[in-house]
Amino acid sequence: MAKIVFRDPLNRNTVTEHVVSEWLFSQETPYQQVDVFRTPEFGTVLALGGVINVSERDEIGYHEMLAHVPLFAHPNPRRVLIIGGGDGGTLREVVKHPGVEEAVMVEIDQVVVEQCKKHLPQVASAFDHPKANLIIGDGLAYVNEAPDASFDVILVDSTDPVDAGVVLFTPEFYAACHRVLRADGILVPQSDSIVYQPTRVAGVGKMLRESFASVDFYTSIVPTYPGSLWAFAFASKGPHPTRGLDSARIAELDAQLSYYHEELHQAAFVLPKFLRDQLRG
């Protein structure tokens, strides 16, 4: 019997193939193609729009770094907004912080939430947490309608700029996030592959600098993502990304973390010279 493979396009010239041991779900929603399958190497995988979005084996490198870097850099994050993140992994990490009072998550595709609850329960484990407020709706519309200075941290856990994710990679969206953030607020959008899409990553920085005076980049290793080295932009209205971290706060969560730690937080902002120069504004 011929083996089933999932072909994940890294760019127009390069494709990674994953052997599929069991196909669990496939549906085209009004927003994107949603697929869930099992692989021998990475366990259960969620693919959106034909591209791997989450894998059971390596999701911690993405979710822990997207959430904890800005939450520990912020002196007192109480209200957090997550745009996207239908798998629930970023929400799972945010509600771990004792000081967070509310985590509002706005996800456009109900199907993603339902299927992750069913097939990736260890990722989608926080939807019923008392701090969690899940809204099925348009993230851009939510931000445009949100009151000024209503959140401490905004995390954009979107797909790449395709399908429903396109509107979340614009200067207008970043300007709206700036308005919604409090005076010491931090915005972190996932920012694509430094290996395969460095121009796109640099473009995120350029757009953010139209609204934010301070923009830095950090990375994490996510093997199922193109090139494994993934970029996050750190746009701040005040807090520095690495100075003044509260080691006691970090130590309180240490037993609940598998990827993030304080030394890694510091090191994640150190980029190779050619990338540092390319991403510098």
3-state secondary structure of 193: strand
Residue with tokens 């993405």: 62
Residue 172 annotated as binding? Answer: no
Residue 122 annotated as binding? Answer: no
Options 35, 152, 157, 163, the catalytic residue = 157
Residue 139 annotated as binding? Answer: yes
Q: Distance between CA 179 and CA 160 in Å, rounded?
A: 23
Residue 184 annotated as binding? Answer: no
Q: Distance between CA 55 and CA 96 in Å, rounded?
A: 21
Of the candidates 93, 87, 90, which has an alpha carbon nearest to the alpha carbon of residue 116?
87
Residue 246 annotated as binding? Answer: no
**196 vs 14, 65, 130, 158, 231, CA distance in Å?**
9, 20, 39, 18, 11
3-state secondary structure of 215: strand
Residue 107 annotated as binding? Answer: yes
Residue 87 annotated as binding? Answer: yes
The answer to whether residue 157 is catalytic is yes
Residue 63 annotated as binding? Answer: yes
Residue with tokens 């929603």: 29
Binding residues for S-methyl-5'-thioadenosine: 32, 107, 138-139
| Residues classed as catalytic | 157
Binding residues: 32, 63, 87, 107, 138-139, 157-160
Binding residues for spermidine: 63, 87, 157-160
